[in-house]
Amino acid sequence: MEADLEDVFLDVEQGFAVFATVTGGDSVAGFFFGPYYRADAGGAVGVGSEEPVFKATATAAAHYGLEQGAPLIIDGTAYVILEPEPDGSGLTPKPDPAGMVDLRLQLQPT
Amino acid sequence: MAHVRQQIRAAVVLALQPIGVNVYAGRALPLSGPSKPPALAVYTWPDAPNYEEAEMADGVCVLSHDLTVNIEGHYEGGTDDDLDALAVQVEQALYADETLGGLAQGIRLAGQDAARDGAGQLIVGAVVMSYTVQYLAAEGDPETAL
């Protein structure tokens, strides 16, 4: 069952994962999502935005140096990692007991 | 006619139009989609009558009001320099006519503050520029600026 889940979730061809290109040109599989985020910089009105996150295995993040400030390219769009944080969900792909990490991203100007 | 405060709010919005960004009066909804920053939002509260300086004219009490006009400048993907550039444009636009088309006695700077939110996909910054607009109106006749 765990192997099945791993296939579904982290398989770019068959599952939900996408590739992110990291420094050096290597590709890392993970999940990419961008929930709504209302930015509040003061004042009476907020600004509608998104909070893009790339969820990768902690092992891959450590291996490819996916730390704060590291660049990532996903689907042709350039990001920089704002903050890596363990997702704490307990959903751990079988080969990676270290768990998953949410890499919070910021768009880079084009 | 409308309350003098409403007329002043509309005059401020009109004065800010040449800056070339979206300008909203009393906006409560988040700036999103077509209303995305850069944008300005104008708020006109509180409005404080000053009875100590009230004058009687032809049996009518003429009150001086200190109206707080907060103008928020919102910027996405910019820096503090962008916020300051917006603040320059706002101040220049307001002081081009301190009477706001004859509605006000004058405008005073009342302070500015700025902050940034860097948690989303782009850094969002806001500068809140406070002005005090003084206007005169007779007690019981809030639609006519004197």
Per-residue pLDDT tens over the stretch A26-57: 999 999 999 999 999 989 999 999 999 999 98
Q: Is the pLDDT of residue A6 over 60?
A: no
Q: What is the pTM of this model?
A: 0.86
State residue A90's pLDDT score.
63
Q: Count CA atoms within 13 Å of residue A70 on its CB side.
A: 20
Closest-CA residue of chain A to B70: A43
Q: Count CB pairs under 8 A between chains A and B.
A: 86
Q: Which residues pair with B56 in a beta bridge?
A: B61
B73 touches B110 (CB < 8 A): no
Distance CA B5, CA B145 (A): 9
State residue A95's pLDDT score.
54
Q: Do A43 and B41 touch (CB under 8 A)?
A: yes
Q: Do B28 and A48 touch (CB under 8 A)?
A: no
Q: Which segment of A12-16, A89-93, B32-36 scores lowest on mean pLDDT?
A: A89-93
Q: Do B28 and A45 touch (CB under 8 A)?
A: yes
- Which residues on A lie below 8 Å from B38 (Cβ)? none
Q: Do B119 and A50 touch (CB under 8 A)?
A: no
B122 touches A106 (CB < 8 A): yes
